[in-house]
Structure 1
Amino acid sequence: DRMEVGKGGVKCALDEVHDLYGFETNAIVTMREVIEHLYNKEYKGK
């Protein structure tokens, strides 16, 4: 889940997909979780 706002500007994109197509949507991970995992981790020696 990139935590995007949908086209209407009010709901998140996952909620808009749910409303439009009628099926449940869930994020595997959120951008917040990715950032928390990577924060202050070494990458390519830096």
Structure 2
Amino acid sequence: GYEGQGVHQDIIAQADYRVRIEMEGFESLNVAVAGGIIMYHYRSGK
């Protein structure tokens, strides 16, 4: 998403899935880090 605004609602409406990454102590993640976290959890079955 855009800095401070997140992903536009029209893009969210087109998504097949939505995920949430819990972030304690962080305000934001770049797309590479977020993608790595998602892939790790997908591959490990968590």
What band does the TM-score fall into relative to the shorter chain?
A: under 0.3
Instruction: Tell me which structure has the larger Cα radius of gyration.
Output: 1
User: If each structure's helix is expressed as a fraction of its own residues, which one has the higher value?
Assistant: 2
Q: TM-score, normalised by structure 1?
A: 0.28
Higher relative contact order (CA 8 A, sep 6+): 1
